[in-house]
Amino acid sequence: MINIGLTTWSEHTSLLKKIKPTLGEYASKLPVVEIDNPFYGIPSPKTFENWESQTPDGFKFLVKANQAMTLQTSWEDYYESERSLYEVYRKAIAPLSRTNKLEAILCQFPAMFDCTKENILHLRRMRHFLGDLPLSIELRHPSWYEPQYLQQTLAFMRAHEFILLTIDEPQVQDRSIPFYPIVTHPDKAIFRLHGRYKDGWLAKGDDWRKRRTLYRYNQEELEEIKEAVIKVASQVKTTTIIFNNNSGGDAADNALALKELLAIDYSGLNPEQIDLF
């Protein structure tokens, strides 16, 4: 199964020709969505229950880990212990895990998270605290992919059943990871596509969000992604592709274009609303 989706549901005006689609409306078009909210603050279980209730059976959520879990802030700022951070997170997402709508937790580590013993131990702690929940890992420091570490990285991911994400991002010397389609989990694989706009990827200042993922994949690039997806999908039960290139509103169009290239016709989505006129 190949599931294609987007980061958030309300920002994709071209998906339903509507300024702010609801989650229920989004779920009439695509079968998976990435939720970023928990990165900034862990929502209540009631919030996750509300999201779950708006989606059909079989719909999937890729839920971002809280920033304290990926070392972008300290758990000590908000929690009594590291364990309590993970307990709050597990309780919050329980409405998704118990309904089989949790595709994975998305652990996007910062660019400074390099291949060191300390960071490997942190990944082990995450697995310990989160038990058998599906964990996907986005590594952003190139050291993990260097020849002397790559095979050990892959072996470690497989041993702990981490889903190592296949990332497409601008290739900036010494600051990017390669597009490396790989399977490290027995059942799942995930692609996350950020676009290829180099200047935007390095942008700083107040408008960096408007530029970082400002990119529209062309037909040739989508064909390249399609071939990689087909190869990976032949090795696992579920392959998820998330388009995150939405600074200019291009993600939905690219997602639908890839869906067409792969000749996918989703069933079991929410019913579409029909305009009277």
pLDDT(274) > 60: no
Higher-pLDDT residue of 249 and 242 is: 242
Q: Stretch 142-165: mean pLDDT, rounded?
A: 97
HSE at residue 61, side-chain half, CA atoms within 13 A, is: 32
pLDDT, residue 210, reads 66
CA distance 248 to 112: 27
pLDDT(233) > 50: yes
pLDDT(202) > 90: no
Q: Which of 53-57, 223-227, 268-272 has the lowest mean pLDDT?
A: 268-272
Q: Which of 80-84, 196-200, 227-231 has the lowest mean pLDDT?
A: 196-200
CA distance 74 to 81: 10
Which domains, ranges and CATH numbers included, belong to the chain? 2-261 (3.20.20.410)
Higher-pLDDT residue of 79 and 223 is: 223
pLDDT(121) > 90: yes
CA distance 233 to 200: 31
Per-residue CA distances from 46 to 53, 56, 59, 66, 159 (Å): 10, 18, 18, 17, 34
- Mean pLDDT, the chain, rounded, equals 93
pLDDT digits (tens, 9 = 90+) for 51-81: 999 999 999 999 999 999 999 998 988 899 9
pTM for the complete prediction? Answer: 0.94
pLDDT bin (cut points 50, 70, 90) of residue 83 is: very high
pLDDT, residue 208, reads 64
CA atoms 108, 111, 112, 118: torsion sign: positive
pLDDT(175) > 90: no
CA distance 46 to 60: 18
Higher-pLDDT residue of 175 and 224 is: 224
pLDDT(213) > 80: no
pLDDT bin (cut points 50, 70, 90) of residue 247 is: confident
HSE at residue 129, side-chain half, CA atoms within 13 A, is: 20
pLDDT bin (cut points 50, 70, 90) of residue 209 is: low
Find out whether 242 and 62 touch, Cβ atoms under 8 Å: yes
pLDDT(277) > 50: no
In the chain, the amino acid numbered 130 is L
Percent share of the chain, pLDDT over 90 = 80
φ/ψ (deg, to 5) at 233: -60, -25
CA distance 194 to 201: 9
Q: Stretch 24-51: mean pLDDT, rounded?
A: 96
